[in-house]
């Protein structure tokens, strides 16, 4: 799933022209906070860059990625056009990583099916902290930036 093969993250002019009226919800896990802060910052600055109004960007924090599901559900009810779920799950010594990754991806998928406000998945699922650093403003870019572009695109479809 390497994004350098087919990243598809350029915005068309139609989407850009609608951004100023769009409302965005950022739901940010504070587990591995240095990483998620960088992802959030990348997303936030990208939304502003394409014309989003600061007043139209809401943010809530949740303790860990597992709580992103509930946080996103609440955010879907707060009159936003699209939600970005931001988290960083790093593999440890046990199976916990697998349970959290599976729960979060399934939970957010379910919310996308059940509710009409789309949720973009900006959750790193890494084997070590270096992989997370590389993807939150390091040598592999910032997945928060890519997620903001995806959010604008899916909101413009809506």
Instruction: Classify the C-alpha dihedral 39-43-45-49 as positive or negative.
Output: positive
Contact (Cβ atoms closer than 8 angstroms) between residue 119 and residue 80: no
Nearer to ligand DLZ, 19 or 83 (CB): 83
Is 31 near ligand DLZ (CB under 6 A)?
A: yes
Q: Which stretch binds ligand DLZ (CB under 6 A): 45-53, 77-85, 87-95, 135-143?
A: 87-95
The pair of three-digit structure tokens given for residue 43, joined into one six-digit string: 């997303």
Contact (Cβ atoms closer than 8 angstroms) between residue 52 and residue 24: yes
Separation CA 156–CA 22 (nearest Å): 8
Which of 24, 26, 29, 156 binds ligand DLZ (CB under 6 A)? It is 29
Q: Is 109 helix (H, G, I), strand (E, B) or coil?
A: helix
Q: How far apart are CB 66 and ligand DLZ at their closest, in Å? A: 4
Which of 69, 80, 90, 148 binds ligand DLZ (CB under 6 A)? It is 90
Is 89 near ligand DLZ (CB under 6 A)?
A: yes
Q: How far apart are CB 96 and ligand DLZ at their closest, in Å? A: 5
8 CB neighbour count, 10 Å cutoff = 9
Rg over alpha carbons for the chain, rounded to the nearest Å, is 15
The pair of three-digit structure tokens given for residue 60, joined into one six-digit string: 């809530």
Is 64 near ligand DLZ (CB under 6 A)?
A: yes
Number of residues that make up the chain: 158
Q: Which stretch binds ligand DLZ (CB under 6 A): 2-10, 45-53, 85-93, 148-156?
A: 85-93
Is 96 part of the annotated catalytic residue set?
A: yes
Is 66 near ligand DLZ (CB under 6 A)?
A: yes
For the annotated catalytic residues, the residue numbers are: 96
Q: Which residues bind ligand DLZ (CB under 6 A)?
A: 29, 31-32, 63-67, 87-90, 92, 96, 100
């Amino acid at each position: 799933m390497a994004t350098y093969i087919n990243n598809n993250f350029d915005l068309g002019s139609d989407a850009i022209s609608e951004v100023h009226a769009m409302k965005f919800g950022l739901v940010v896990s504070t587990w591995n906070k240095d990483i998620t802060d960088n992802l959030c910052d990348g997303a936030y600055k990208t939304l502003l860059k394409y014309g989003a109004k600061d007043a139209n960007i809401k943010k809530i924090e949740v303790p860990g990625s597992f709580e992103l599901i509930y946080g996103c559900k609440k955010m879907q009810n707060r009159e936003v056009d699209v939600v970005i779920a931001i988290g960083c799950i790093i593999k440890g010594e046990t199976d916990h990583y697998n349970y959290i990754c599976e729960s979060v991806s399934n939970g957010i998928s379910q919310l996308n099916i059940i509710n009409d406000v789309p949720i973009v998945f900006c959750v790193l699922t890494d084997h070590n902290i270096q992989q997370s650093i590389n993807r939150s403003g390091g040598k592999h870019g910032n997945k928060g930036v890519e997620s903001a572009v995806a959010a604008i695109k899916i909101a413009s479809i809506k």
